[in-house]
């Protein structure tokens, strides 16, 4: 999981370096490496169950969206993952 996170962070760094200012500004508020990492940590600490499965699926979708430059979709999936962690 950590290798995947590091790969996502590296790709995100490259994306931010070449992304238009507006996209970078939008991404900074929601879909960021720091927020992905915090959410993954919260998911790892969850008890097994439906909420954890939902959160894992949403964080995977957020990472995929980030890798594909879909910052809005990334933020939406990250938000859903964060909400799922509250249902521990």
Write down the H helix ranges in the chain: 2-18, 21-29, 33-44, 50-67, 71-85
Q: Which pLDDT value is given to residue 43?
A: 93
**Residue 28: per-residue pLDDT:** 44
Q: Where are the domains of the chain?
A: 35-88
Number of CB atoms found within 10 A of residue 85's CB: 22
Tens digits of residue pLDDT in 57-82: 999 999 999 999 899 999 999 999 99
Whether 19 has a pLDDT exceeding 50, the answer reads no
pLDDT tens digits for range 24-63 = 444 445 788 889 999 999 999 999 999 999 999 999 999 9
Compute the distance between CA of residue 47 and CA of residue 49 in angstroms, rounded to an integer: 6
Mean pLDDT computed over every residue of the chain: 79
Query: Which residues does 67 contact at the CB level (< 8 Å), separation at least 6?
Result: 8, 11
SS3 label, residue 87? coil
Q: Is the pLDDT higher at 8 or at 16?
A: 8
């Amino acid at each position: 999981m950590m290798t995947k996170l590091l790969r996502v962070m590296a790709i995100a760094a490259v994306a931010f370096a070449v992304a238009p200012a507006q996209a970078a500004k939008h991404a900074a508020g929601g879909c960021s490496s720091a927020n992905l990492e915090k959410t993954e940590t919260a998911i790892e600490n969850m008890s097994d169950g439906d909420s954890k499965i939902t959160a894992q699926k949403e964080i995977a979708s957020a990472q995929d969206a980030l890798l594909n430059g879909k910052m809005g979709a990334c933020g939406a999936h990250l938000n859903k993952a964060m909400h799922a962690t509250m249902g521990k």
